[in-house]
Amino acid sequence: MDPEIFDQFLEQLERYVRERLIPAEKQVIADDRIPDEIVTEMKDMGLFGLTVPEEYGGAGLNTSQYAKVVKTMAYAAPAFRSIFSINVGMFNSAIKNGGTEAQKAEWWPKVAAGSITCFGLTEPGSGSDSAAMATTARPDPDGNGWILNGTKRYITNAPHAEVGLIMARTEKEALPKNAHVSAFIVPMDTPGITVGSPDHKMGQSGSHIADIILEDVHVPGEALLGGETGKGFRFAMMSLDNGRISVGAASTGYARRALDSALRYATERKAFGEPIANFQLIQQMLAESETEIYAAEAMMADVTARADRGENILRKAAAFKVFASEMCGRVVDRVVQIYGGAGYLAEYDAERFFRDARIYRIYEGTTQILQLQIAKHMLREFAEQA
């Protein structure tokens, strides 16, 4: 998108977040769902197709622009970002990197119009460990299609999604570079698909996850992403770079929201006859939080610029996600401390910030898995240079 037009869009989005979404947060929390009219507004604004190319009906945002939108949206309750994040991050990225021209022509216009997507990788017995993936896809003996069987777990947007990108084994034995895993574009109303009840979570009210059960799900040959077996996991991992940027941007935006709340509370709350903001140890927590948010913002600017230049960002996207999500956890912890006893009460926002932020360190790759990934690539590069 043209930079000047994008800046105008971002300014309008900031107003929408503050004037429309934040006032709706209490209703989202009380009902554990986003009001239908707000979802419709978000679709009309084009938020579900931000990264779809313009020729397919999307906004055509580059990675830097899309991350700024996510960060802006994440200032409000996490559910508002979550409902469109799989579209603009992982699903669209997988279609871009691995989809055939026919798949792009079929699915991108639907996604740009607001079709909600989900990403089916995690299972009861496997997440980052693809060798343990149990979902299978076997050739349909009656045609050129496939038959899928298995269970996916913790799938964001599963209760609402119209289409899912489902990872499944197309080979019994684990193969090098995860070539035993393929990806399939599966409409969620396909016979044999059952979506479980939304799981009850620690935080992030209004954002729903659920199991997806696949029992003899028949899909046509055209459902195989890229038209080739053995490349699904690679496409998934490539799309996870965008997913990790999204979580990093969300962590950064939500940390800013929490810090702004703490600033407001610290200037209003009085102790010993003066605002607690005057106390140096309160100021230390505020300053540490500001410093860390600024560092995350700088990392976001760097990794997204690299992505837009076409660089391999696997390691840096992982590093950004690790730092930003851990940073957000530290910030919301300080915010609870600044609120004091009030920070432990559900009546105040600090308690919600603390619960909402905890998942950022877990999904799209736990901190520990990503640290292993970062170190593995560091050691590989060192060995190649030796």
- What residues are paired with 118 via a beta bridge? 164
Residue from 375, 306, 361 nearest 330 by CA: 361
Report whether 156 contacts 87 (CB < 8 A): no
Tell whether 178 and 295 lie within a shared domain. no
Q: What is the pLDDT of residue 374?
A: 96
Q: What is the CATH number of the domain that holds 256?
A: 1.20.140.10
Query: Which of 208, 228, 248 is at the close of a domain?
Result: 228
* Per-residue pLDDT tens listing for the chain (386 residues): 788 999 999 999 999 999 999 999 999 999 999 999 999 999 999 999 999 999 999 999 999 999 999 999 999 999 999 999 888 888 988 898 889 999 999 999 999 999 999 999 999 988 767 678 899 999 998 888 999 999 999 999 999 999 999 999 998 887 777 788 999 999 999 999 999 999 999 999 999 999 999 999 999 999 999 998 988 778 877 778 888 999 999 999 999 999 999 999 999 999 999 999 999 999 999 999 999 999 999 999 999 999 999 999 999 999 999 999 999 999 999 999 999 999 999 999 999 999 999 999 998 889 999 999 999 999 999 999 87
Tell whether 272 and 377 lie within a shared domain. yes
Q: For the CA atoms of the chain, what is the radius of gyration? A: 21
| The two three-digit tokens of residue 54, written as one number | 């313009």
Report whether 193 contacts 186 (CB < 8 A): yes
| The two three-digit tokens of residue 282, written as one number | 């309160």
Q: What is the CATH number of the domain that holds 152?
A: 2.40.110.10
Q: What is the pLDDT of residue 237?
A: 77
Tell whether 154 and 171 lie within a shared domain. yes
Taking the C-alpha atoms of residue 83 and residue 156, their distance in angstroms, rounded to an integer, is 8
Tell whether 75 and 190 lie within a shared domain. no
Tell whether 164 and 134 lie within a shared domain. yes
Residue from 115, 118, 3 nearest 48 by CA: 115
Tell whether 266 and 379 lie within a shared domain. yes
Q: What is the CATH number of the domain that holds 41?
A: 1.10.540.10
Tell whether 208 and 246 lie within a shared domain. no
Which residues does 374 contact at the CB level (< 8 Å), separation at least 6? 315, 318, 319, 322
Residue from 228, 241, 258 nearest 349 by CA: 258
Query: Which of 170, 200, 228 is at the close of a domain?
Result: 228
Query: Which of 198, 228, 258 is at the close of a domain?
Result: 228
The total of structural domains in the chain comes to: 3
Tell whether 137 and 200 lie within a shared domain. yes
Residue from 202, 198, 247, 199 nearest 346 by CA: 202
Taking the C-alpha atoms of residue 267 and residue 107, their distance in angstroms, rounded to an integer, is 50
Tell whether 283 and 162 lie within a shared domain. no
| The two three-digit tokens of residue 329, written as one number | 């956890």
Taking the C-alpha atoms of residue 358 and residue 204, their distance in angstroms, rounded to an integer, is 9
Tell whether 277 and 360 lie within a shared domain. yes
Taking the C-alpha atoms of residue 244 and residue 361, their distance in angstroms, rounded to an integer, is 11
Residues classed as catalytic: 364
Any idea what the Cα angle at residue 297 is, between residues 295 and 299, rounded to 5°? Answer: 70
Tell whether 283 and 378 lie within a shared domain. yes
Taking the C-alpha atoms of residue 229 and residue 175, their distance in angstroms, rounded to an integer, is 12
Residue linked to tokens 């028949």: 218
Taking the C-alpha atoms of residue 198 and residue 200, their distance in angstroms, rounded to an integer, is 7
Tell whether 186 and 134 lie within a shared domain. yes
* Full residue range of the structural domain in which residue 362 is found: 235-385
